[in-house]
Structure 1
Amino acid sequence: MSGLRISLLLAWVGGLATLDAQVIPRRPNDPIPAQLESMYERGLTYLVRSQNAEGSWNDSMGGEPAVVGLCLKAFLAHGDDPNHGPYAETIGRCIDYILSNQKDRNGYIGNSMYNHGFATLALAEAYGMVDNPKIAPALQQAVDLILSAQERNPAGAWRYSPESRDADTTVSGCQLVALFGARNAGLGVPEESIRKGLAFLSRCRGEDGSYGYTSAGGGKPTLTAIGVLCLSLAKEEGGKAFDKSVDYLGENLDYRDQHYPYYFEYYMSQALFQSSDDLWNQWNDKNLRYLAVLQRTDGSWPGDKGEAFSTAGALLSLALNYRYLPIYEK
């Protein structure tokens, strides 16, 4: 490992020592409920067994770098040794697949900014944890593309392609979280880029605190969770507008997105974990019961976007209980 990566890894390990001091309580001698651990391990086992030799999955969206990135994050979030642990081979294949889908010319991963953003975040989480010298230059290229796409965008944000001239909250939120992940990993991310991205999101926030897709109208819990998470990661919590958004999420703890349920699970868990201990505890209990009913006997979760996406999304919505990933710390 390079000196930089060793330093980052030591900082990450050192950060784990402070977790017991966080506000959210842990059960003495039993920090993770047995049911959750069983569900999580069964989900990972499904992903291991169903991964193909190239490192992706053979379902409807399992070949998308974004989905492979989410699966990679699900393994890293469990806290096993990514280089020698039980999932090291699967993790290595995920990384190789993401790298194989990056264009040498400009660092673009996949064929959409959704793919690029989630894959970039996955590389950022793997950097300093996985012993692979190819990650660092690939991550830098991926971050550079996010920044250059923003510079060309009149809205100061992002949409479907690096050349997009408009923006929406889902793609923009994805790129912002990837930038936060890269910054946590030690890469230089201009503060101006964060400010511009957050400014776009704020223009999509309605008076009731909810976030819309491309404007302040038509707010939805999924989009609001993205907005709250981005502000929280930027340490911009507080203020009436932020509080209204958190209250809006609190009023929708029983909401389930009909079209992208696991996408909602993924963002809602992170947003509440970062913004409200009380709401996250309520949500976490509900979410654990909800996902326990849906998990299949083979360990997967069902969904029309493919089992790899559904299973990774479900697992990552539970992964806040482990708090191993830097992006999952407070």
Structure 2
Amino acid sequence: MAALCCGSTTGRAEGDWEITPAGERALDQGLEWLARNQGPKGNWGSDDLGLVALGALSFAAAGHLPGRGRYGDVIDRAVQYVVRSARPSGLLNIANPQRDMYNHGLATFVLGQMFGMTRDPQLSRVLDRALKLIYSTQCDDGGWDYRAKRQRNGHDLSLSVMQAKAIRSAVDSGLEVPPEVARQAIHSVRIRYRASNGSRDPDDPRTRMGPGQFTYNGSRGTTAMAAAGVVCLQEFGQYDDWRISRNMDVIRREIQQLKIPTDRNGRVPWDAYTLYYVGQAIYQVGGGIWRECYPILRDHLIASQVERPADPKQDGHWTSTRHVGGVPGQLYGTSTACFILAIPNRFLPILQEGKIEGLRKQLGSD
């Protein structure tokens, strides 16, 4: 089997403008909230393995590893909860089957990052089965369904990007990935681009000339989908794809419209899902848009973080504003916010790459 592989190098912050004392303090307080409120099972009261894995990722993004240092036990409990919950088929979901591939894709991505940082053989075994499930359930159009099953067409862009990031995470770790799986995943993202005039035909000059963006399923465009599509193309070396600049126009406008909060209500920008992809999109594209937009996201998170020193269940958290409530919603919001605040550290393998020319040559370009 042919493989896609890429190495990694240690990254570092571009300058003091990326990491500020206030940003570091907010990150520390967020990690403290996660540590205090994890619970003995290691899952923050959530059966969504993707969210539990995201909790572990926030610590790893800040440079902490399982079993080592101040938060080693916290990360270890979260990772072990995910590992113990893996099904014989390789599926990383114990919640509603309609969340099979959401949880599976996100959890697999995180395990790939963890394996790349630790080389833990236990993670390798679970990761191998999880990746094989992704390969075997890829639909004929290159996408995936909500449930872990193969069919003619994938359901939507969000599922494609979740699995694509898991595949790229495996590449980061030096694991073998069938190039055709990655190539088809990229195809499933591209076909969900829609020009503002309604055209979806990439060979139609009208599609390329005017504005447009990635959509959920071919018709409905959102900031989250614009960012998710960009992240997928960037992480697979498709740097010159014309769709990237169109979607970055959408993302830049959304970020420029953000207003720094004054009430410390814990609300992340948009929602945790959108923030997760927007932060990665501006980082992966880099350059001027990263320098322009990252401080806005960072300062919004600093200003919105809950500050209640007398209440350890509240102090230091953020919350997702959609989809997930209660403590799991706080887990989602806090983990995502900490991940975004930690990006400039560049500790994660996914954040340490320049242009992946070998990978790009195998996949081709549009």
TM beyond 0.5? yes
Does 2:81 match 1:97?
A: yes
Partner of 1:323: 346
Q: How does 1:234-249 map to 2 (within 5 A)?
A: 234-249=236-251
> 184, 198, 202: which is aligned to 2:172?
184
**Amino acid of the structure 2 residue aligned with 1:289:** D
Residues 1:260 and 1:179: Cα distance change in structure 2 (over 3 Å): farther
Partner of 1:25: 14
Return the alpha-carbon distance in structure 2 between the equivalents of residues 74 and 258 of structure 1.
Answer: 15
Give the counterpart of 1:39 among 8, 26, 31: 26
Q: Is the 8 A contact 1:83 1:130 kept in 2?
A: no
RMSD between superposed Cα atoms in Å: 2.2
- Structure 2 CA distance, aligned partners of 1:211 and 1:81? 35
Q: Is the CA contact (8 Å cut-off) linking 1:262 and 1:313 kept in structure 2?
A: yes
**CA distance in 2: counterparts of 1:81 and 1:239, whole angstroms:** 35
Supply the distance in 1 between the matched residues of 2:270 and 2:82 (Cα, whole angstroms): 23
What's 1:272 paired with? 282
Please state how far the C-alpha of 1:299 moved relative to its aligned partner.
0.9
| Equivalent residue runs for 1:197-212 within 5 Å | 197-207=185-195, 208-212=211-215
- Deviation at 1:156? 1.7
1:162 aligned onto 2:148: yes
Pairwise CA distance, 1:290: 1.0
> Following TM superposition, by how much is the alpha carbon of 1:258 offset from its aligned partner in structure 2, in angstroms?
9.7
Q: Is the 8 A contact 1:51 1:57 kept in 2?
A: yes
| Larger RCO (CA within 8 A; separation ≥ 6) | 2
The farther-off stretch of 204-213 and 85-94 is 204-213
Provide Cα deviations, 1:238-257, integer angstroms capped at 9, x if missing partner.
14333222223222224679
Do the aligned residues in 1 keep the contact of 2:59 with 2:65 (CA within 8 Å)?
no
Q: Aligned pair in 2 of structure 1 residues 260, 171: CA closer, same or farther (>3 Å)?
A: farther
TM-score normalized with structure 1 length: 0.86
Q: Cα–Cα, structure 1 residues 148 and 259, in superposed 2: closer, same or farther, change >3 Å?
A: farther
Question: Which letter maps to 1:301?
Answer: W
Query: 2:230 maps to which residue?
Result: 228
Deviation at 1:94, TM superposition (A): 0.8
Contact 1:81–1:88 (8 Å) recurs in 2: yes
Task: Tell me which residue corresponds to 1:213.
Answer: 216
Q: Determine if the alignment matches structure 1 residue 303 to structure 2 residue 320.
A: yes
| Paired amino acid for 1:198 | I
Deviations 1:254-278 (A, max 9, x none): 4679996111111101111111321
- Do the aligned residues in 2 keep the contact of 1:127 with 1:185 (CA within 8 Å)? yes
* CA positional deviation for 1:164: 5.5
Gaps of at least 5 residues in structure 2 are: 1-5, 196-210, 259-266, 308-314, 354-366
Aligned pair in 2 of structure 1 residues 76, 93: CA closer, same or farther (>3 Å)? same
Q: Residue 90 of structure 2 corresponds to which residue in structure 1?
A: 107
Q: Which residue of structure 1 aligns with residue 363 of structure 2?
A: none
Give yes or no for contact 2:53–2:82 (8 Å, CA) kept in 1: yes
CA pair 212-141 structure 1, distance change in 2 beyond 3 A? same
| Aligned length in residues | 305
1:157–1:200 CA contact under 8 A, matched in 2: yes
Between the two proteins, what is the percent identity of the paired residues?
Answer: 27
Aligned match for 1:124, one of 84, 94, 112: 112
For structure 1, list consecutive stretches of 5 or more residues without a partner in the other structure.
1-7
Residue 194 of structure 2 aligns to a residue whose secondary structure is coil
CA apart distance, 1:131:
6.3
1:293 and 2:293 equivalent?
A: no
In structure 2, the partner of 1:88 is: 72
